[in-house]
Structure formats: structure tokens, C-alpha cells
Amino acid sequence: MSGNSHHAIRQSILERIQSGEWALGERIPGEAMLADEYGCARVTINRALQGLANDGLVVRKRKGGTRVCDMPVRQAKFNIPVVREQVESLGSAYSHQLTRRADKVPPAAISTRLGLPAGAKALHLDTVHLADGRPFAFETRWVNTRVVPTIMDAPLDTVSANEWLVQTVPFSGGDVVFSAVNADKAVSSALDVREGTAVFVIDRTTSLAGEFITTMKLYYREGYQLHSRL
């Protein structure tokens, strides 16, 4: 199998795992042995095994070798949504209204999430996303302007902060929480629903190289469905 790419070798090893050649939890042959078997460099085997590890199918330990996971992980992939694209995918016309823009010291909980020093300011933005002129989602967001100073000059009246950040600012990590809450006065007013109505919420914080970029909550009207890939 000389000349195989790491992609082809990864697929071959995956098929061998799926066939039961190595049982769950079993240690598979080392890189040197696999390199000899496949007729390639060890670095190629290393890349193939790392790809399987990234997919949660094997566990790699320094000095411990590589083992098939006892219970292979199924990972759901969540893409940060651009609300305009969500609206347009439904065949509706998109628009947005920036209802709040303030550069101020955030509450303590927000400062902590953004890793801000005491007294540091952040940009607070509230946006109502509209579908055919009706509220579709309400976004309340804080942006760390020490990390993203260019947002202060961004045309947020014409491009939503959601879309501007996705298209402009790279990120390397973060966390996301999905939940349902009863709309408070601010949320119900923004979405034009009765106070106490159950709404779906995406609560997300993103970071780049250890620096927090933004933290936000995106509230959707009833009927919204979240789709992801396995």
C-alpha cells in the first residue's frame, strides 16, 4: 500500500476497527508496525491516528499507545448560525434592527465570562432579527473591544453583529448552552410575544487563543428548530 495518503490509511484503519479486528478498548499496533505494514512514513500513520482520535474513535496516550475507545464518541457538529441565512432559507426577507448600542462596564457575571479586568468596558448590543418584517430572533450580546477593537467602526446598522463577527473575526474555541426559558419583559417585547412565553435560547461564548471575544444570548420565537450534524 505504498504511497497511501493519511486519509486513505485513516479510512483503512477505521474499516478494520468497524470489522472487529481490534475489540473495544484493545490496543492497536504501534506506529512503526503500521508504517511497515502500509509501506509509509511514521508521520503519515501519526496523522491518520490523530484524525481518528479527533473523531473520538481511538484514544492516544504518550507511552500508552493507541486504543480503540471503549465507547466511540459520536460528536454533534454545531455551526454558528448567521441569522440572515436562516431567515432566507425559509424563503423570507431578512432585516434587522439594532435597538441598543452602548460602550459600558458590564455586570460582574459578563466581565467574568469575558475575562475583563475590574472596571473595563465592553460593547453591549441588542438586535432584533426580522423575517418579512416580523420578529424572528432577539440577540443580546457583549463584545470584548480589547480583543475586537474594529467592531467599534463596524457598520452594524447595515450588517448585524452576528454576521459581522462570523465573517470577520476568527475563533478557536468556546462553549454553547441550549435551553428553553420563559420570556421576560425585555425578551417578550423584542419578540412580540406574551411575557412568560417559552422561547428557545442559544447561550454562547467564543474565544481566540485564550482571549474571550464575545458572549451572547440568542432568543428564538416559538416554532424554531435547531439542526446539527452527527
Query: Same domain for 167 and 104?
Result: yes
Q: What is the pLDDT of residues 132-164, one digit of tens each?
A: 999 999 999 999 999 999 999 999 999 999 999
How much is the pLDDT for 93? 98
What CATH code is carried by the domain that includes residue 19?
A: 1.10.10.10
Query: Is 199 contained in some domain?
Result: yes
Query: Same domain for 61 and 126?
Result: no
Query: Is 225 contained in some domain?
Result: no
How many whole angstroms separate alpha carbon 116 and alpha carbon 118?
6
Query: Same domain for 53 and 99?
Result: no
Query: Same domain for 155 and 186?
Result: yes
Query: Same domain for 98 and 57?
Result: no
Query: Is 130 contained in some domain?
Result: yes
Query: Same domain for 48 and 92?
Result: no
How much is the pLDDT for 81? 83
How many independent structural domains does the chain possess?
2
Query: Same domain for 48 and 145?
Result: no
Query: Same domain for 31 and 131?
Result: no
For the CA atoms of 208, 147, 220, 126, the dihedral, rounded to the nearest 10 degrees, stands at 180
Query: Same domain for 123 and 159?
Result: yes
Query: Same domain for 104 and 201?
Result: yes
Q: What DSSP string runs through the chain? A: -TT--HHHHHHHHHHHHHTTSS-TTPBPPPHHHHHHHHTS-HHHHHHHHHHHHHTTSEEEETTTEEEE-SSPPP--B-PPP-HHHHHHHTT--EEEEEEEEEEEPPPHHHHHHHTPPTT--EEEEEEEEEETTEEEEEEEEEE-TTT-GGGGGS-TTTS-HHHHHHHH----EEEEEEEEEE--HHHHHHHT--TT-EEEEEEEEEEETTEEEEEEEEEE-TT-----B-
pLDDT tens digits in sequence order for the chain, 230 residues long: 545 788 899 989 988 887 789 888 899 999 999 999 999 999 999 999 998 888 778 899 887 899 998 765 555 566 788 999 999 999 999 999 999 999 999 999 999 999 999 999 999 999 999 999 999 999 999 999 999 999 999 999 999 999 999 888 877 788 999 999 999 999 999 999 999 999 999 999 998 778 899 999 999 998 888 877 66
How many whole angstroms separate alpha carbon 26 and alpha carbon 60?
12
Q: The domain containing residue 159 runs over which residues?
A: 83-220
How many whole angstroms separate alpha carbon 45 and alpha carbon 38?
9
What CATH code is carried by the domain that includes residue 203?
A: 3.40.1410.10
How many whole angstroms separate alpha carbon 164 and alpha carbon 156?
8
How much is the pLDDT for 2? 44
How much is the pLDDT for 74? 56
pTM for the full predicted model: 0.69
Query: Is 76 contained in some domain?
Result: no
Q: What DSSP string runs through 48-91? A: HHHHHHHTTSEEEETTTEEEE-SSPPP--B-PPP-HHHHHHHTT
